[in-house]
Structure 1
Amino acid sequence: MNRFGLELTIVVVMLVVGLCVSDTAPLKAEDGAPVVVPTPVSLVHQPGTPACTLTEKSRIRVPFGDAGMFLQTHANVLRDELELLTGLRLDVVVSDDEPTSFDIVLAISSDAQTLDSMSSEHYTLTSGDRGIRIVGKSSVGVAHGTSTLLQLIDPKTCSLPSLSITDQPAAEYRALMVDVARTPHSIGVIKDAVRLCRLFKVRYLQLHLTDNQHFTFPFAPVTDHLQGNHCYTIEELNELVEYADARGVTIVPELDLPGHSGRLRESGYLSPNRNDADVAAPQNYAKIGKLIDAMINVFASSPYFHIGGDESGAGHRLVPFLAEVNKRVRARGKRLLVWEGFHGAPTDLIPATGDDHVVVLAWESSYNAPWDLLDSGYRIINASWKPTYLTGGYGGLIHPGSTGGKRFDLEDIYRWDKNTFMHWEPGRPVFEDRGPNDPNRDDGEWNAKWIGKDDQILGGQMLYWEQYECSVVHFLLPRVPILSERLWNPSSGHSFAEFQDRSGLVQERVLPVLQPIEILPEVEDPSHPVVSLYQPYEGEEIQVTLRNRSKVPGQIRYSNGGWSGRLNSPNFRPVPEPQHEYETALVGRGAFSVRAELVREDGTPVDGHSWKFFNNWPDRVEVSEFDIGRRTPRQVPDLAALPESKLLRRYRMPYLRGLTRNVAVRGQMTEADLVAPADGTHTLELRTQSGHATLFFDRNQNGSFEEDEVLVRDSPNDESGQKADVVLERGERYRVRIDHATGMPRPVLLLFLTGPDGKRAEISEYLELPK
């Protein structure tokens, strides 16, 4: 029996006597068993047998031949990653010789050419006293196996437990989209997103490359004629594609047309170019075809091309335009992806079946409900607005007027899967439970299994829109592992709490690969309602420490930056590239920011930047959030009278605003003391949108609110200012309370104060926590 036959025999024995993870026997983090995210289909652990320990003599071995040539590139990636985690820099060797007991062997199985797209991601990993062996049925399968290896290795002992894993995904399309067109994103941050996808086996990274703000793809007839446009170079994108391919991640390009085409039209490349309908005009087909060809040439490894197709004003020209694009894309051997942005499925010109079929990303459900797309035969990717839609808050991490964007609870993502469609906004077909065979007509959810069409759903995608680059890793790191778990192994059987424990262990272990530098102190409360990238502190100054969390020796570099620090517009601006060498702890005052990276001793930077924003704002308001149902009531309820069972959470804020996450209707009760800035008559002005509010003001300062102290009741949802006059004595404290029944999509809550001198200001600067 040859060596590999013996390995197979050992695996069979382990299945009998070992500890086996399957759909029916999930391991918990507290069991002390190996933890991998996403959960493998099968993990057999031998807790009593010798582990495999890497040493300085260990090597990463790849075979001779075509497979070996490709795997050598990936082996070099693995070598660098293992060095970050263990400090060991292993040699990569091309050899068919017998491996040692502490080597890592990478191989592609002999039947790789006969597999469909999903089973080609299959891999096996065995670890024990004969070393580590990873065999994939494709290069991507091998990459999945090595990401599992990174999660399993103990950085203190450089060892892996004795185990055997057999694994492959349940859904073939698992993707993350990052919007790099609204605000500039460096190539380095996109590489961060690539590594995040790699670490958690997310197969595709879609880049939203063009929009009204920036046209980032370097196409000279367009970009040479634009001012103030952020644009990558061909060399940068070619290197980025190679970087992703080497990690088992494929980048899918998106050219968003005919909507979101402001910069393209501005360039003068098209004629006519006045509006979306002009973009989609037949006389522009050839020019857009050349642009598509140029993008496909750069992103050649992607089997898909995304044309956008959403939020278009092209009218009757949209469908013929998409049909023409599909012909162009199919001629290049690619599959066309489109947002669910055309009306009236099925549409004959946009084929649902056959060799030229188009894949639809279902997100909003208003253009075509998912059940209509499925009944028409379309294959779809689930990108339902809830819970896969994520925004950073356009123009900053916090919306200056009201909210911080859409960031759904992590638990919402965990109860989602590729067949489950949700929505958060009244009026949408999914929210209104209009789907066929829905057993619960009041939960805003629908499942494709109810009509037996789940086999047409290829997978799912998370979307990150309108963010600054500093927030990409920070907001995606808690979410991408959940996305991956729900698409890779939705039957793993863990409770949400169990999964969070497991994911926390894995994230802590692999974080040096993602962000080598840690910026301390950490936010004490990671659920801080402002934004978790923001670190509040007390006093005049704070000491900031930068720590190398990796095992690679080198120099930490950093840059300081500023941000607005204004209560009425807390805009977290980008921090410049690191420039200064870090020697001692930094001392910061007021509003400031820090960006840091690790540089090897030879002067080459290690991938991965870290950010943090600081301010010593005092907390000024107390906020209580209540469950008041799925829909905004026409009359604001008395939130103080609601039972404790309706209370969702309490927290403090440095300013008075609407909800920082506009993802559900809530009752928001805000309480504070107004410290009068002057004597005389003042005017309070309350503004709300997508919701209503009632304003209470304790004129007589007796600690309660009488009927005549309700200054505004049930404010309108159009941001028209509702005004009331009050007489104040300078320095005196007056209790203010606002009961806010929030709504969608913009639960704005603003309160202004105009003094006797006519000066009008947002009220937060005059508020203090209630006594």
Structure 2
Amino acid sequence: MILKNTFFLSLFFLLFGTLFGEAQTTNSHNEILNLVPSPKEVTKPKGYFKLSGPILVHADQSELKPLAEILVNYVNHISDSDLKLGTGSDNSSKIFLRINKKLNENTHTIRIGRKIEVEGQNYEAVANAIASLVQLVRVSKGGSVIPRVSITDSPNSDFRSVMLDLARFWHPIETIKETIDLLWLYKIKYLSLHLTDNKRFTFPLEKFSKVNKTNSDGSREFYIKEELKDLVEYAKDRGVTVIPEIEVPGHSGILWSTYPEVFGSVDEQTNEAKPLYVVNMAKESTYTAMNEIINEVAEVFYTSPYIHVGGDEVYLENLKKVPEYDEYTLKHNLKEAANGDANELFCHFINRMNHMVKATGKKTIIWEGFHGTGSKHVTVDKDIMIIVWNTTYNHPQNLLDNGYKIVNSTWVPWYMVGAMNFAPTIRKAYDWNLKKWSHWNDSIEDIEVDSDEGIMGGQISFWEQNHFKVIPVLRKRVPVLAAHLWNGHIDTNYNNFLKTLENTDQLYSSLFNPVKTKVSGLANEEDQRFTEKITIKFESKEKVDFKWHYSDSWNLPKMREAKSYKDSIELKESGVLTVQAFTSSGAPLGHPQQEYFQKIEPAYSYEVFSPIPKEGWESVPDFSGLNVVREGVTGFMSSNRLDKINGELFAKVERDGHIDTRFYGLYNPYAVRLKGQIYIPENENYTLRLTTDDGLCNIFIDDNLVAKGSELSKVAEDFQIKLSKGKHTVKIEYYYRKIQNQLNVKYKTDKMKDFLPFEKLVAPLKN
């Protein structure tokens, strides 16, 4: 009887709670709310907050006004709502934003009932809450709503960062701002900017202005301070902080070569810079100048608690030959350095840089670049934070055991290298954890440290990337990093996470890439290739004006001055299409969107196979056991296409004989099969010259293997074959193992003096 009464009592409370909207607490946050990252504590009552009629948004503190404006603009943009900024102490406001310093550090709360109350322990926490609130908006034909919910949330890892390499390829400010928008949406705290390297110094120096280069067309290879200050404020308004990196002592060629009398060493015979490959760490003028630079940087990036000073891939041999070396090492009691171990001088340099950074009120970050704790007599300061990426200079466990705070920026999955088409998959990112490091080189073993204590967070490091690859690569990788670092793990299975990610990615498009481009006439939709012409139409959910620009260059045009879109566009040549939406009043919506369309003369049918297994690729494998991820038609290599390929690469490919094995949107090692026909004008002996770089290739003619590659590095291999007059089938099977996608094939007959590109023998592919 007691059991029966208990059952009915439980049933009564269950029904009562359902009918009257009793709050339900759940751990399956993503399944209910579809937020990335998912919140830690959620209570979800029944019902929705309707975004109908005028709704006032009130910021309790004036400093929150930028976030109130962002909330109003973004919610109105993605829904049919009518949010407006409240004024004064208007009690009719329905959405309230406030800073509540009584909350735990970096914590925010969202309470949605008859009104919406957003609180954060600081400005950044409120910005994180606004990102969640915008993600919560549900749009339907019946009207836009936000689920009634109570959220209390805070991040596990404070250091959540994405790095852009601005020093290898020029990046428009617009691209950097779009990256900041992406980071805001997924609650990534820091944008780290690699501002300097061997060939470019993008930070504007006042005293050493010769390092700030200008191109022949008058365009700058450096930013002016007004641009950088605007960038800092743009990020600050969104709760994102910009960390500057000035790379020394290595990756600093532009300093020691441009000002050898200050940062390097002058050859007395030639009066030119000696090739040190590092700044002169044995010269006091180097330290004086670096202190001036650090102070300039600290002033511009005033919101950053850190300055990154580099510290990786340091070449020391030539440094020991400078005339100041002996005197400096003796003066500073660097005994090992005086006896020829310049590593001690390197560690001494790091510590002096740290003292300069700390004098500005900031903390120092460096890359993993020293061994152990430094040298026998000079220990690298323990208050420096180390970003561990390669694990070959210093093992992360060693650093943790010795009391250093570290950041995980492992090659796989958080290193992206645009010039090498390297961007580990979403699956690899999902499977990662904070304690794990994996290298692109399979001979270097994976590492997992004992504990995540002392690991401050993680960073995506995006190297050698062109500006037009930033968002396509990052937009589905940043949220995975965010999900890991916010909660310490991803609390749903992979397929469910992908569904949630698809929702937030669509939101990103609505907010920042609102133009939908419809293309007809493509030979390959996935590769954006065409043979004759394509027709372009622009669409948007809102009534907007479109402006567009089409040229051979990726340079971002001034979109306000671009052509107005009236009707469909017909394009007959390869080029870069840039489009942006504007309101009727002329205000831009989102950011410019760029796509490259390639006109081809069809040469081969192709199949792409992926993924490549880690083991057993010392020879070209049996393709029949691999997964086909894409197939279609590709074209002859053209001068225009070569320019585009080399425009995306730091290490350029050889022009003559290069075969196009790159495919739009595909990254990481894969295998390719090309099929076509060749035409032989007369019976003759041929030599095929095959060159790959970190890959192998087999060539079949009439199904006979005529060239079997065996060199995994960039070494040419020659193969002799006798070919008869007429048409022959050709099949090329190629793969690259790591990060160098380069296939080059040439030919020569006995009568020819020089080799020519193999594709001169290839007949156009018939439809």
TM bin, normalised by shorter chain, reads 0.7 to 0.9
Q: SS at 1:61's partner residue?
A: strand
Contact 2:191 2:242 in 1 (8 A): yes
Shift of 1:75: 1.4
1:195 has 2:181 as partner: yes
CA spacing shift, 1:215–1:36, aligned 2, 3 Å = same
In structure 1, the partner of 2:431 is 415
CA distance in 1, matches of 2:713, 2:537: 45
CA distance in 2, matches of 1:295, 1:713: 50
In structure 2, the partner of 1:484 is 482
Deviations 1:7-52 (A, max 9, x none): xxxxxx9999444342xx3543xxxx32111111123333x42x21
In structure 1, the partner of 2:241 is 250
> 1:232 corresponds to which letter in structure 2?
Y
1:20 aligned residue (3, 22, 25) = 25
In structure 2, the partner of 1:5 is none
CA distance in 1, matches of 2:71, 2:716: 58
In structure 2, the partner of 1:327 is 355
In structure 2, the partner of 1:735 is 730
Shift of 1:520: 2.6
In structure 1, the partner of 2:385 is 359
Segments of structure 1 that go 5 or more residues without pairing to the other structure are 1-12, 394-403, 433-444, 564-572, 699-703
Contact 2:348 2:380 in 1 (8 A): no
Segments of structure 2 that go 5 or more residues without pairing to the other structure are 1-16, 266-273, 317-341, 636-658
Q: SS at 2:208's partner residue?
A: helix
Deviations 1:614-671 (A, max 9, x none): 124336143353777524654x25525x6x3x546463462645677998776x3624
CA spacing shift, 1:729–1:380, aligned 2, 3 Å = same
CA spacing shift, 1:759–1:77, aligned 2, 3 Å = same
Contact 1:37 1:506 in 2 (8 A): yes
Report 1:341-352 matches (<5 A): 341-346=369-374, 349=378, 351=380
1:546 has 2:532 as partner: no
Contact 2:248 2:278 in 1 (8 A): no
1:711 aligned residue (691, 695, 707) = 707
Shift of 1:96: 4.0
In structure 2, the partner of 1:6 is none
Shift of 1:335: 1.0
Aligned Cα root-mean-square deviation (Å)? 3.1
1:386 has 2:402 as partner: no
TM-score under structure 2 length normalisation: 0.81
In structure 2, the partner of 1:298 is 300
Contact 2:548 2:580 in 1 (8 A): yes
Report 1:404-483 matches (<5 A): 404-427=420-443, 431-432=444-445, 445-448=446-449, 451-452=450-451, 454-483=452-481
> 1:311 corresponds to which letter in structure 2?
E
> 2:97 corresponds to which letter in structure 1?
L
Q: SS at 1:521's partner residue?
A: strand
> 2:108 corresponds to which letter in structure 1?
Y
In structure 1, the partner of 2:692 is 688
Contact 1:561 1:576 in 2 (8 A): no
Contact 1:218 1:233 in 2 (8 A): yes
CA spacing shift, 1:329–1:626, aligned 2, 3 Å = closer
Q: SS at 2:188's partner residue?
A: coil
Contact 2:99 2:120 in 1 (8 A): yes
CA distance in 1, matches of 2:723, 2:679: 10
CA distance in 1, matches of 2:616, 2:402: 34
Shift of 1:575: 4.6
In structure 2, the partner of 1:153 is 137
In structure 2, the partner of 1:91 is 84
CA distance in 1, matches of 2:584, 2:699: 60
Shift of 1:754: 3.6
* Structure index of larger Rg: 2
Deviations 1:415-448 (A, max 9, x none): 1122221112034xxx32xxxxxxxxxxxx3222
> 1:521 corresponds to which letter in structure 2?
V
In structure 2, the partner of 1:748 is 742
Shift of 1:589: 1.3
1:139 has 2:155 as partner: no
> 2:195 corresponds to which letter in structure 1?
L
CA distance in 2, matches of 1:75, 1:520: 34
Deviations 1:166-186 (A, max 9, x none): 111121111111111111111
CA spacing shift, 1:321–1:522, aligned 2, 3 Å = farther
1:34 has 2:33 as partner: yes
Paired residues, what number? 675
> 2:353 corresponds to which letter in structure 1?
V
Deviations 1:288-343 (A, max 9, x none): 11001100101111111101112222453322221111001111121111011223
1:172 aligned residue (144, 148, 158) = 158
Q: SS at 1:230's partner residue?
A: coil
> 2:297 corresponds to which letter in structure 1?
M
In structure 2, the partner of 1:124 is 109
In structure 2, the partner of 1:574 is 555
State which drifts further: 604-613 or 652-661: 652-661
In structure 2, the partner of 1:701 is none
CA spacing shift, 1:77–1:220, aligned 2, 3 Å = same
Deviations 1:472-498 (A, max 9, x none): 112111111111111112444211111
CA spacing shift, 1:649–1:91, aligned 2, 3 Å = closer
Contact 1:309 1:341 in 2 (8 A): yes
Deviations 1:738-769 (A, max 9, x none): 365x4344253322234666674433562667
CA distance in 2, matches of 1:595, 1:633: 40
CA distance in 2, matches of 1:350, 1:557: 58
CA spacing shift, 1:425–1:555, aligned 2, 3 Å = same
> 1:762 corresponds to which letter in structure 2?
P
CA distance in 2, matches of 1:651, 1:78: 43
CA distance in 2, matches of 1:455, 1:209: 30
Report 1:557-636 matches (<5 A): 557-562=547-552, 573-578=554-559, 579-617=562-600, 618=602, 620-623=604-607, 625=609, 629-631=613-615, 633-634=617-618, 636=619
CA spacing shift, 1:296–1:415, aligned 2, 3 Å = same
CA distance in 2, matches of 1:525, 1:323: 58
| Higher RCO, Cα 8 Å, sep 6+ | 1
> 1:330 corresponds to which letter in structure 2?
K
> 2:716 corresponds to which letter in structure 1?
S
In structure 1, the partner of 2:97 is 106
CA spacing shift, 1:658–1:426, aligned 2, 3 Å = farther
Report 1:40-55 matches (<5 A): 40-46=39-45, 48-49=46-47, 51-55=48-52
Deviations 1:454-510 (A, max 9, x none): 111011000111122122112111111111111112444211111111111122123
Shift of 1:379: 0.8
Contact 2:520 2:535 in 1 (8 A): no
CA distance in 1, matches of 2:666, 2:447: 21
> 1:735 corresponds to which letter in structure 2?
V
CA spacing shift, 1:306–1:673, aligned 2, 3 Å = same
State which drifts further: 79-88 or 366-375: 79-88
CA spacing shift, 1:513–1:266, aligned 2, 3 Å = farther
> 2:728 corresponds to which letter in structure 1?
R
State which drifts further: 759-768 or 187-196: 759-768
Deviations 1:686-744 (A, max 9, x none): 1122234443332xxxxx43xxx4433524533223232332424x132334365x434
> 1:447 corresponds to which letter in structure 2?
E
CA distance in 2, matches of 1:769, 1:345: 61
